[in-house]
């Protein structure tokens, strides 16, 4: 299960509406457009490159787009370059402009450009008045120099739908299944595939800050975007202006612990959904809460044994059913769609869960896969952190997942083989971040967040020397723009005026 990002929430809410490592010394620690005096001439040119904005109204009404150059390898910044694509909405009131506000919707693999229009409907007017809002696609993503693996819809359909049992035989089978995908990523992406790690993207963000002429970074990052923002703060604490890290990720946890915490969070969210469903008419589940959860489990078992009919061309396999089930846990206002889809599936029709899975995978009936977010997610994740991929370790992790998530945990194991075959070595390490000396950083956690559990926000706020925790008491993933006026007002005041709330404020 990936770390979700806001494009999925936007798609879900749209459907709801329709139906109802350390910085290199002296190289990157820049301020404004002036790089460190020890950088090479080529890097100086990059930090002083001109940005040419052109209209791109297909992104958002009135938006302008531009592309800048960044080093392919920040360890060799005078070598080959890549493209970083951006889009902006200029401040509605230039006379009170604070600076540029960078966005990341999460993932990893989410497009900031694709998120720009939606964010403009979430943010307070004061934010839109005071900032040039900048959506950018991180390296490896979207309109920037991007990760490319399979090149046809059919190849991706087959890969995302394939299932292997969580058994020793399935563990061996998984290696053969993922090998063509990994080889395609290597062949079709080239050297970029080894340089899409989070720290490299954080260094790109400082380059963006510099070429836009800002002395400090202003930033809103959701979900994985909080990890990217925390990495920036650790690398460039003196350049931190105002950072909002919403749906926070704990960067100190290894990937196996992340997976376990997410499984626990989704199990809890699914329990909350079942409570809600059983209390309403038309719920396809019956009996007690435990009985209803067992009905979902038995449905998944039956789909694993025999996929359900889907859209006439594709079947609903187990991985797709899991996507459809769990994507609705991101947003409690979408629970009614799961009720409809479960009702269909329990009668032998997989179309509803298949449609929800397509939302999760950014798949369109006419255009196929509209983003590369799933491929970028794998590429970025495999460089940042990897779980042990021997059978004994993988089986032990699978057993932990079953205990944490008895409804679906038995189907979540053995994903380790994907990164185990990755053609480039891991470059990041899970580690706590302190960002010593940084200005106050606002960390937001939602108590019922299934994808980024509340404990992660608490941990990140504690790790950051200047971290301030804002708590939203509610269900769903992230808070700013989708929770309540209390959260929105706190964030708006922090971004626009620099007003820091009391640590531990609850909304």
Cite the active site residues.
223, 449, 477
Q: In whole angstroms, how far apart are CA 44 and each of 31, 33, 47, 428?
A: 12, 9, 5, 26
Compute how many other C-beta atoms are within 10 angstroms of the C-beta atom of residue 241.
Answer: 20
Task: Return d(Cα 180, Cα 320) in angstroms, integer.
Answer: 20
Give the 3-state secondary structure of residue 78.
coil
Nearest to 430 by CA among 4, 2, 73, 21: 21
Nearest to 155 by CA among 1, 354, 369: 369
In this structure, what are the phi and psi dihedrals at residue 190, rounded to the nearest 5 degrees?
A: 80, -155
Task: Return d(Cα 251, Cα 230) in angstroms, integer.
Answer: 8
Q: Is-contact 359 43, C-beta < 8 A? A: no
If residue 377 lies in a helix (H) or strand (E), which one and from where to where? helix 373-384
Task: Return d(Cα 85, Cα 495) in angstroms, integer.
Answer: 24
Nearest to 219 by CA among 125, 105, 331: 105
Please tell me the total number of residues recorded for the chain in this structure: 507
Q: Is-contact 357 324, C-beta < 8 A? A: yes
Buried b (16+ CB within 10 A) or exposed e, 24-59: beebbbbbebebbeebeeebbebbebeeeeeebeeb
Task: Return d(Cα 450, Cα 475) in angstroms, integer.
Answer: 8
Task: Return d(Cα 255, Cα 387) in angstroms, integer.
Answer: 6
Instruction: Identify the DSSP state of 279.
Output: T
Q: Is-contact 309 348, C-beta < 8 A? A: yes
Instruction: Please count the CA atoms within 13 angstroms of the CA of 406 that sit on its side-chain side.
Output: 8
């Amino acid at each position: 299960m990936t770390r979700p990002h806001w494009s999925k929430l936007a798609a879900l809410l749209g459907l709801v509406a329709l139906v109802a490592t350390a910085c290199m010394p002296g190289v990157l620690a820049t301020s404004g457009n002036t790089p460190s005096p020890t950088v090479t001439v080529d890097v100086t040119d990059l930090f002083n490159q001109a940005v040419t904005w052109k209209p791109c109204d297909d992104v958002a009404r009135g938006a302008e787009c531009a592309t800048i150059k960044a080093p392919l390898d920040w360890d060799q910044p005078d070598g080959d370059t890549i493209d970083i694509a951006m889009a902006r909405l200029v401040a509605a009131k230039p006379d009170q402009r604070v600076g540029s506000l960078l966005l990341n919707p999460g993932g990893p693999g989410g497009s900031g450009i694709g998120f720009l229009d939606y964010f403009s409907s979430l943010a307070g007017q004061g934010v839109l008045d005071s900032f040039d809002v900048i959506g950018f696609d991180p390296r490896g993503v979207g309109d920037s120099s991007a990760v490319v693996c399979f090149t046809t819809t059919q190849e991706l359909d087959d890969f995302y739908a394939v299932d292997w049992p969580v058994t020793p035989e399935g563990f061996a089978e998984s290696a053969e299944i993922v090998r063509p995908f990994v080889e395609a990523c290597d062949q079709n992406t080239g050297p970029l595939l080894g340089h899409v790690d989070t720290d490299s993207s954080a260094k790109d963000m400082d380059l963006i800050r510099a070429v836009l002429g800002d002395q400090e970074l202003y930033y809103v990052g959701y979900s994985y975007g909080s990890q990217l923002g925390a990495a920036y703060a650790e690398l460039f604490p003196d350049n931190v202006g105002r950072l909002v890290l919403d749906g926070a990720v704990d960067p100190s946890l290894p990937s196996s612990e992340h997976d376990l915490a997410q499984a626990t969070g989704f199990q809890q969210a699914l329990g909350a959904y079942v409570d809600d469903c059983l209390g309403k008419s038309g719920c396809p589940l019956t009996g007690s809460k435990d009985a209803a959860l067992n009905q979902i489990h038995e449905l998944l078992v039956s789909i694993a044994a025999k996929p359900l009919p889907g859209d006439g061309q594709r079947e609903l396999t187990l991985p797709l059913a899991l996507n459809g089930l769990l994507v609705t846990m991101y947003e409690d206002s979408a629970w009614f769609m799961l009720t409809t889809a479960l009702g269909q599936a329990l009668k032998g029709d997989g179309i509803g869960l298949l449609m929800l899975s397509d939302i999760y995978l950014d798949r369109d009936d006419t255009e196929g896969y509209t983003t590369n977010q799933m491929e970028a997610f794998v590429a970025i994740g495999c460089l940042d952190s990897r779980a042990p991929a021997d059978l004994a370790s993988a089986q032990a992790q699978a057993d932990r997942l079953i205990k944490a998530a008895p409804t679906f945990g038995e189907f979540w194991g053995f994903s380790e083989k994907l990164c185990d075959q990755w053609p480039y070595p891991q470059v990041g390490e899970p580690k706590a971040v302190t960002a010593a000396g940084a200005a106050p950083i606002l960390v937001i956690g939602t108590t019922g967040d299934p994808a980024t559990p509340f404990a992660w926000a608490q941990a990140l706020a504690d790790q950051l020397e200047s971290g301030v925790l804002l708590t939203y008491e509610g269900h769903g993933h992230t808070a700013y723009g989708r929770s309540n006026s209390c959260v929105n007002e706190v964030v708006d005041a922090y971004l626009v005026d620099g007003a820091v709330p009391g640590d531990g404020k609850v909304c």
